[in-house]
Structure formats: C-alpha cells, structure tokens
C-alpha cells in the first residue's frame, strides 16, 4: 500500500518529480560518461605509449634499470629466450641491444640511440614495423641496413638509400664504428623518439658492437596484456635473481601515476558540480515535502505512524532516485558505448599530447558495464542522501503543527 501511495504521490507532483528525475539523470549521465571518457582516454594513452616501443613487459639484468651500464646486461639471451618460449603466458619475446652513438652524415653529427633487434620477433612486441613511412622495414639477413626515425633522418639530411656513419662504444667498451645504409624511415608520432632512434638487425649489430648473445632488454608480449603484472611476477621467479622482470606498470610508472592524477583532478571537478546538484535536489525535496506538510500532518493525525510516513517519503525518494539513475545510466552508457566504437578525434590537440610523449589524436571512451553500474550505485546513494535531511526534518514536526503550517 505504501508503494502505491508513493507512486501516486510522485505522479500527483508530476512537474517537480520530473525535474528531480532529470537532475538526477543528468548527474548520473555526466558521471558515467566522464568516468568512461577518463578511463578510455587514459587506457588509450597508456596503450599507445606502451605498445609503440617499451612493450608490456621488459626483462633486464638485475640492476640494469637502476644502473643502465654494459655491466648489467643480459649475457645469455638464447637461454632466456628458450625459457620464455616455454612459458604459457608468453605470446612472443624479442631481445634488444640499445646503445647511444653519434650518427654522422657529411658535415652533420647527431647523437641518438642505435638499437640492434630481431626484425621478425620485434614486430610481435612493438609497433615499430607498423610505423614505417618510407622504404622498408628490417629483414632477417640485413647487415648494415638502418631503419631510421623520421625526425632524425631530417636532422641528418638523409633519405632511403643514403649512407651515414656512426661512432659509439661496443659492449666490451671497444670503439665501434661503421657505415650504414638507410633502408626505411619510421614515424611513431613520439617526436623525441623519432628524433633520436635508429634500428638495425641484431645479427650484424652484434658483430660490430661485440654483443653476441647479449641484450639490454628482452621485450615480452603477454598472451593477455591485462595480466602483464602477474606474468612479470611469475617470470621473476622463473628467471631468478640475476634478472628483473618489470611490467609496464613499473616501467611506465610516472605515466600511470600521471593518469591517476588526471583522474583525481577530473573527479574533483565533477565533485564541484555534484555538490551543487546535491543541494538543488535537497532544496527540491524540501520544497516537495513542505508543499505536502498539511497532508502529512493529517496522515499523522489519522494514526499513520512517523515510521510509516518516513518509509513512504523514503520510498518516493528511492523510486525517483531509481528512475534517475536508470535513465542517467542509460544515457551515459549509450554515449560511452558510442564513443568506444567511434573514438573522438582531437587533431588540434596532437601538439599538446606530443609534448607529453603521447602519440594519440583519436581517443575512445571505455565501455565497462560494471563501472557504469558502480557509478549508478554511487549516484543513487548520493541522491538518497540528499533527500534524507528534508524528510527527517518534516517528519519530526508534531501533527498539529504540520496541519497548521503556513
């Protein structure tokens, strides 16, 4: 009976009920979509930053990340590759040897990173091959062929087919130098990376840098990238204390934290909006219950207990709140779904993203039903809370005072 009464009351004050529902729905929709947008954009930025080059999981010598010197290299790449190949969580792995050298062409010399890699295996762990813009990617059997970042190529004034030289130090600290021929140029969109990186086939690299069976990193592509941290823990046990296995959450920790901060500020901003919505709903509930104060007084005078009145008013709020979050969840969820399928394009903001090392211009929202339900539940709680004070206040009035309330 109380439920019937509650529904009847909601319908009797149609306009105000509608306004309350709309306010609640807009708030819920805003929260659902904002969360989907923030989660989606952060996931995309991290995914891009991780997949372009660093990879989901890196294996290095035990102290290499803290002290990246040639003394902390991986000295038995083949054995480790064999172990990794037998690990069920590993889809692929690829060794890299990174060194910093001076590239020289005619009268120009530019410092940069020269890396030896295994072309086919590298293609499975990063987006280097897909970033080709001119010439070709590296192939098995390549010797002094070089795959060069577009910005670095521009700085050196070289194109596909041109030759350049490099000088650096080999893994044994010996002097290393050679002439290299550019076979391909890549552009990842990460300006600094494109301005300082060059790659060549590891077999030949190893001969000129004295780096046979050695690597600075082995990049691992997990079967399920979402399980990279767990896989890193397993690999750390499997490989022993001589090696370190770190997932992207560790190797890209500042970026992960930066995204968390961005979310934090996003939620703080939303909180300001929600505070005012909270007050508006409270005010409307107050107006609504005071408009019915005589009716409530009469009900009380006729023998309805304060508990029953409280239940009735709470039931009305609960129903209005439920309609609000359902409608808001649907609207916010629909937007989240749409933009997860059709990412928003921010071509004009590429410069800003690039400044932060993020090669993205199209950003999808994240459509996660569980997260949407969580936000709906949170907003439902907030809506109920905002109606509590007016309901308790009006229910505290003695019946006679309520009836004579002007």
Partner 1 sequence: MSSLVLKMAWASLARRPTRSLLVVLMIAVSLWGLLLMQGIYDGMTEQMISNAIRSDAGHLSIFARGYRLDPSLDLLVEPEQGPAQEVAGGLGNEGPGLAASLAADPRVASHVVRLRQNGLVATSHYSRHAEIIGVELEGEQLQGRLADYLTTGKYDFGPKGKGAIIGHKLAAKLQVRLGGKIVVSAQDRAGELAGTALRVSGIIRTNNMGLDENAVFIDLARARGLLGVESGVSQLALLLAKGYGEEDLAALQGELRAGWPDLAVSRWDELYPALMQSRVLMRGFSLVVSGLVFGVAGLGIFGVMLVSVLERLREFGIMLAIGAGLNTIRKTILLESLLMGLAGFLAGALAGGLSLLYFRRFGLDLSVFSEALAEFGMDAVTYAIIRFSYFSEALAAVILATLVSVYFSLRVLGRSRPMAVINKG
Which residues of the chain form contacts with partner 1 (CB under 8 A)? 16, 19, 23, 66-71, 99-102, 104, 106-113, 155, 167-169, 192, 196, 253-258, 260-261, 265, 268-269, 271-273, 275-277, 279-280, 282-284, 286-287, 290-291, 349, 351-352, 354-356, 393
263 or 308, CB closer to partner 1? 263
- Please identify, using beta-carbon distances, which residue of 15 and 86 lies nearer to partner 1: 15
**Helix axes 77-86 and 228-239, enclosed angle (nearest 10):** 130
The end-to-end CA distance of the chain, in Å, is 29
Q: How many residues make up the chain in this entry?
A: 406
Nearer to partner 1, 81 or 285 (CB): 285
Give me the least distance between CB of 342 and partner 1, in Å please. 22
Q: What are the residues whose beta carbons fall under 8 Å from the beta carbon of 394, sequence distance 6 or more?
A: 289, 290, 293, 296, 313, 402
Q: Which is nearer to partner 1, 111 or 141 (by Cβ)?
A: 111
193 or 367: CB nearest partner 1: 193
Nearest distance in Å: CB 68, partner 1? 6
Report the nearest approach of partner 1 to the CB of residue 196 (Å). Answer: 5
Minimal distance in Å, beta carbon 140 to partner 1? 28
Taking the least distance from each CB to partner 1, the nearer of 82 and 111 is 111
Pick 4 or 351: Cβ nearer partner 1: 351
Q: How far is the CB of 260 from partner 1 (least distance, A)?
A: 7
- Min CB(223)–partner 1 separation in Å: 29
CB-wise, 85 or 271, nearer to partner 1? 271
Q: C-beta of 386: minimal distance to partner 1 in Å?
A: 11
Q: How far is the CB of 136 from partner 1 (least distance, A)?
A: 26
């Amino acid at each position: 009976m109380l439920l019937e009464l509650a529904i009847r009351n909601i319908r009797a004050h149609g306009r105000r009920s509608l306004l309350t529902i709309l306010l609640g729905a807009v708030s819920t929709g805003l929260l659902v979509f904002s969360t989907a947008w923030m989660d989606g954009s952060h996931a995309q930025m991290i995914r891009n930053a991780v997949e372009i080059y660093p990879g989901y999981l890196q294996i290095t010598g035990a102290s290499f990340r803290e002290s990246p010197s040639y003394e902390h290299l991986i000295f038995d790449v083949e054995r480790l590759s064999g172990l990794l190949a037998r690990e069920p969580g590993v889809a692929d792995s690829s060794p890299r040897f990174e060194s910093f050298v001076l590239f020289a062409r005619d009268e120009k010399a530019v410092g940069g990173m020269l890396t030896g890699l295994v072309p086919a295996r590298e293609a499975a762990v990063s987006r280097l091959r897909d970033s080709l813009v001119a010439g070709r990617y590296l192939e098995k059997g390549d010797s002094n062929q070089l795959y060069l970042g577009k910005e670095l190529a521009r700085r050196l004034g070289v194109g596909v087919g041109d030759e350049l030289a490099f000088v650096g130090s080999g893994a044994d600290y010996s002097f290393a130098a050679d002439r290299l021929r550019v076979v391909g140029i890549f552009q990842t969109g990460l300006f600094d990376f494109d301005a300082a990186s060059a790659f060549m086939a590891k077999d030949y690299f190893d001969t000129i840098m004295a780096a046979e069976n050695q690597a600075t990193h082995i990049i691992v592509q997990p079967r399920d990238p979402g399980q990279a941290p767990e896989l890193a823990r397993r690999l750390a046990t499997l490989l022993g204390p001589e090696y370190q296995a770190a997932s992207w959450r560790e190797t890209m920790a500042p970026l992960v934290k930066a995204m968390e901060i961005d979310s934090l500020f996003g939620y703080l901003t939303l909180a300001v909006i929600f505070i005012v919505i909270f007050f508006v709903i409270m005010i409307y509930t107050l107006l609504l219950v005071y408009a019915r104060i005589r009716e409530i007084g009469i009900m009380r005078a006729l023998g309805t207990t304060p508990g029953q009145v409280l239940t009735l008013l709470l039931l009305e709020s609960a129903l209005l709140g439920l309609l609000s979050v359902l409608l808001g969840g649907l609207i916010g969820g629909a937007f989240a779904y749409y933009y997860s399928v059709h990412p928003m394009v921010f071509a004009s903001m590429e410069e800003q993203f690039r400044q932060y090392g993020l090669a993205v211009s199209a950003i999808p929202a994240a459509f996660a039903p569980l997260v949407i339900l969580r936000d709906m539940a949170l907003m439902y709680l907030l809506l109920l809370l905002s109606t509590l004070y007016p309901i308790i206040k009006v229910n505290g009035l003695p019946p006679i005072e309520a009836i004579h309330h002007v």
